[in-house]
Structure 1
């Protein structure tokens, strides 16, 4: 599979899988202020299923980063490339740690008295802050740098860069107070990936037409 198409498919896999995982988790887990932890027992199966999706999404996202860097090649700016790669890797790492902390809560919730103690509140706060504060801030930095690379190199439509700047600002400012901002980053990655696929398909049609052999000349009549 050629590089732009591989990046697009990896981005689509990441976006779809992480959107499903976030939707399940937000439906199951209450906001932090009123969280009693009942979800860790009553909705343990759904939460565990969502947590199992996160490593799949993380691997797809790392593939998305790698293929995009290969696509940029010598056009990649070292400053932007360093922040682009670093923020993406940090996002995945923080998301994995938050998922592990949430999984530990589900496991420990089977012990009597755990949900009423300080240990649950500590673990819950850790998982919440790792996701909504640190991981999502890194996601906003990734959106800013990726959008800047789009503007500088034009490897896809520049309107996706404008969208990335706007959504990245919303994530940066409101990820801790508005849980629905979790969906903005994967939706942007999905938009960029679909745009790359569309451009590949659109550009392939003229090339395919140019490669078609011309019709042979008609034989002269006897």
Structure 2
């Protein structure tokens, strides 16, 4: 496969992978938030069969969301090519990998609420929420800011979308666990970015080729 064709197909991969990640992650967050409210006292919280089913469904989606996010990262890096700034791209790569690691750690801790007796583990729930809302979302904030910076410098992101990215990153960085449901900002931003990538690719494909 020649390099030109490889470059043209990369935006499709980034856009589709980003959409898959956004949908799966948002679904998992909503299911966990509904089944396990963070304000419930862990010593008295009882997880019924319906809640355990919702949490189990959410946790089964997390590995696929992580895989889609890694694909999304790889496609974005390939799209940037050799023009990317080495310092910013290193932060981009590191924050994305740490985000996936903390996301998987939060999912592993959340399995503790699925014990057969239905008595949710306060420790497991607290660890899961801390990893998701405090650590994973901070890494997501760094990823959003660095991606917006790279996209703006390379000219592949429109200025309004770059501004939205900075605002989303600052929101995730500052708000964190203080505002429930704020985690949905990250998959929402990834979805908007993915739709922009797909739309840009479609627009470029519809334009007539320049004469040699």
TM-score, normalized by length of structure 1? 0.85
Q: How many angstroms does 1:128 deviate by?
A: 1.1
1:13 corresponds in structure 2 to: 20
Which segments of 5 or more consecutive residues in structure 2 lack a partner in the other structure?
A: 1-7
**Structure 2 residue aligned with 1:28:** 35
Cα RMSD after superposing both structures: 1.8
Q: Which moved more, 1:24-33 or 1:43-52?
A: 24-33
Q: Per the alignment, in what secondary structure is the counterpart of residue 25 of structure 2?
A: helix
Change (3 A) 1:126 1:40: farther
Which secondary structure does the structure 2 equivalent of 1:207 belong to?
Answer: coil
Task: Please tell me whether residue 191 in structure 1 is matched to residue 198 in structure 2.
Answer: no
SS of alignment partner, residue 39 of structure 1 = coil
Q: State the structure with more CA Rg.
A: 1
| 8 Å CA contact retained: 2:10, 2:75 | yes
State how many pairs are aligned: 203
CA distance in 2, matches of 1:101, 1:60: 21
Equivalent residue number for residue 45 of structure 1? 53
Q: How does 1:86-101 map to 2 (within 5 A)?
A: 86-101=94-109
With normalisation by structure 2, the TM-score equals: 0.89
Whole-Å separation in 2 of the counterparts to 1:42 and 1:17 = 20
Q: Is 1:56 aligned to residue 69 of structure 2?
A: no
Listed as ranges, the matches of 1:143-182 within 5 Å are: 143-182=144-183
Contact 2:148 2:157 in 1 (8 A): no
Contact preservation (8 Å) 2:38, 2:129 = no
Q: Which residue of 2 aligns with 1:85?
A: 93
- Can you give the 5+ residue segments of structure 1 that lack an aligned partner in the other structure? 212-222
- Change in 2 beyond 3 A, CA 1:157/1:42: same
Question: Deviations along 1:142-193, whole A, 9 cap, x unmatched?
Answer: 0111111011111232321110100111111112111211100010010011
For 1:134 and 1:150, the matched residues in 2 are separated by 24
Q: Which residue of 2 aligns with 1:135?
A: 136
Structure 2 CA distance for aligned equivalents of residues 123 and 34 of structure 1 = 13
Secondary structure of 2:177's counterpart equals: coil
